[in-house]
């Protein structure tokens, strides 16, 4: 779950005492003009949950109210990375001495928090890692010890930061507190600016909330950008199903993430194109009825593969849902089954007797038949 720049600054950085420039969120050119009149020359920034705003023209400088209105008008008509821009952040222009980088994230390799700092801000950290590895400092945190200003000081030692080192260290320590308190997967300030007047401020911020922690961070979950979903994907989500709509013509219904991805891969292998990802494993295995309805509602679907290999998920329960849905929906698309694992005998019998369809022994054969039927 991502927070857009303004939400991340307003709900995360500011309450934790990390300085940010004065700014206002605006939905119209008139609001943007008024904001610049109030706070002076500003940067107008598209608020979309994606990077590359600058490269797409989503960030412009406005010195006057007229310039602000015109810049906001341009940006508010844009679509960036598939996201329509519906608001801009008007933020006071700051005279920058130097751009830095600071972040705290979950490090998979060490299974611990990782504090990252770089003297090369404003660019992608992976790029810096390749071109200027010396500019990056890393600190893996022992969560029982935490990470305070003293740790930050040790981490920054030797970098040419002058008198700003103390203020930067404080920002790093605050970022770690944010990371811990707010269940962050990532909190990143890029750039962290050292201003000509000596202040250190966050010019941009990216905050990713751990999906599994949304329940205990309800305030942040509320202000996170809604994920970009198609109408069918939304219907899936409302029913607790992970449905991803794709542009192929062979529908997929399988249990478990691994088996579902594999079913898609085998469709691709035989020259077909999968129409969706949809798994009904785990706790969702009783939802095959609504799942089938979702897959069949995808307008591109010309044939369907149903591939069950039951472990935790019982294939008899899944098959019963499918059969019931089939009898209600009476779809015209051909369907090809492969069923194995927990509850297999009952499941095969159900499909055979109620739908008059004989499941294939190997999933490859079911997929091949479905790909041929779709052509």
Partner 1 sequence: MIYRRGQKVLVQGMTGKQGAFWSERMREMGTDVAAGVNPKRVGQTFLDTPIYGSAVEATRHTPCDVSVIFIPPSMAKDAIIDAIDAGIGTIVTLTEHIPAHDVLEIFARQRVSKSRIIGPNTAGIVTPGEGFVGIMPGHNPNIFKPGRVGVISRSGSLGTLMCLNLTRANLGQSAFIGIGGDPIIGTTTRDALMELDRDAKTDAVVLVGEIGGAMEEEAAEYARTMKKPIVSFIAGRSSPPDKKMGHAGAIVTGGRGGYASKRAALEKAGVQVADTPAELVALLQQVNVTKMSAAG
**Rule CB under 8 A: is residue 235 a binding residue for partner 1?**
no
Of positions 211, 234, 327, 358, contacts partner 1 by CB under 8 A: 211
Q: Which stretch binds partner 1 (CB under 8 A): 5-13, 36-44, 291-299, 310-318?
A: 310-318
Interacting residues with partner 1 between 15 and 54 (CB under 8 A)? none
Mind spelling out the 3-state secondary structure of the chain? CEECHHHHHHHHHHHHCCCCCCEEEECCHHHHHHHHHHHCCEEEEECCCCCCCCCCCCEEEECCHHHHHHHHHHHHCCEECCEECCCEEEEECCCEEEEEEEEEEEECCCCEEEEEEECCCCCCHHHHHHHCHHHEEEEECCCCCCCCHHHHHHHHCCCCCHHHHHHHHHHHHHHHHHHHHCCEEEEEEEEEEEECCCCEEECCCEEEECHHHHHHCHHHHHHCCCCCCCHHHHHHHHCCCCEEECCCCEEEEECCHHHHHHHHHHHHHCCCCECEEEECCHHHHHHHHHHHHHHHHCCCCCEEEEEEEECCCCHHHHHHHHHHHHHHHCCCCCEEEEEEECCHHHHHHHHHHHHCCCCECCHHHHHHHHHHHHC
Binding segment for partner 1 (CB under 8 A), chosen from 3-11, 25-33, 349-357, 359-367, is 359-367
Residue 277 makes contact with partner 1 by CB under 8 A: yes
Catalytic residues: 101, 188
Q: Does 232 engage in binding with partner 1 (CB under 8 A)?
A: no
Q: Does 215 contact partner 1 by CB under 8 A?
A: yes
How many residues line the site for partner 1 (CB under 8 A)? 53
CB 335 → partner 1: shortest distance, Å? 19
If one asks whether residue 153 binds partner 1 (CB under 8 A), the answer comes out as no
Among 194, 205, 267, 301, binds partner 1 (CB under 8 A): 267
Q: Does 112 bind partner 1 (CB under 8 A)?
A: yes
Query: Interacting stretch for partner 1, rule CB under 8 A, among 2-10, 24-32, 178-186, 317-325?
Result: 178-186
CB of 57 to partner 1, least distance (A): 22
Looking at 185, 293, 346, 372, which residue binds partner 1 (CB under 8 A)? 185
């Amino acid at each position: 779950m991502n927070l857009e720049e303004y939400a991340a600054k307003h709900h995360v950085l500011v309450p934790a005492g990390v300085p940010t420039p004065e700014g206002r969120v605006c939905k119209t050119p008139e609001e943007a003009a008024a904001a610049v009149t109030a706070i002076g020359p500003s940067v107008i920034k598209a608020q979309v949950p994606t990077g590359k705003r600058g490269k797409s023209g989503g960030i412009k400088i406005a010195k006057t109210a007229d310039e602000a209105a015109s810049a906001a008008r341009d940006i508010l008509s844009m679509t960036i990375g598939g996201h329509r821009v519906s608001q801009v952040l008007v933020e006071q222009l700051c005279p920058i001495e130097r751009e830095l980088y600071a972040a705290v994230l979950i490090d998979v390799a060490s299974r611990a928090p990782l504090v990252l700092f770089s003297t090369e801000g404003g660019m992608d950290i992976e790029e810096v890692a390749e071109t200027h590895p010396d500019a990056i400092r890393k600190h893996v945190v022992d969560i029982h010890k935490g990470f305070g200003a003293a740790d930050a000081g040790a981490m920054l030692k030797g970098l040419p930061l002058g008198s700003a080192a103390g203020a930067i260290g404080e920002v790093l320590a605050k970022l770690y507190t944010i990371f811990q308190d707010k269940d962050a997967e990532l909190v990143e300030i890029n750039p962290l600016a050292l201003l000509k007047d000596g202040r250190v401020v966050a010019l941009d911020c990216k905050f990713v909330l751990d999906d599994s922690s949304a329940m205990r961070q309800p305030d942040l979950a509320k202000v996170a950008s809604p994920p970009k979903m198609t109408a069918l994907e939304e219907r899936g989500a409302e029913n607790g199903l992970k449905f991803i709509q794709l542009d192929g013509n062979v529908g997929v219904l399988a249990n478990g993430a691994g088996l579902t991805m594999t079913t898609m891969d085998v469709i691709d292998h035989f020259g077909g194109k999968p129409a969706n990802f949809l798994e009904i494993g785990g706790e969702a295995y009783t939802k095959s009825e609504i799942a089938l309805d979702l897959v069949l509602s995808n307008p591109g679907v010309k044939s369907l593969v149903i591939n069950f290999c039951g472990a935790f998920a019982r294939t008899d329960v899944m098959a019963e849902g499918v059969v019931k849905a089939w009898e209600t929906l009476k779809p015209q698309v051909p369907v090809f089954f492969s069923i194995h694992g927990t509850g297999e005998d009952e499941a095969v019998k159900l499909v055979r007797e109620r739908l008059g369809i004989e499941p294939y022994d190997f999933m490859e054969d079911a997929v091949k038949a479905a790909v041929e039927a779709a052509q």
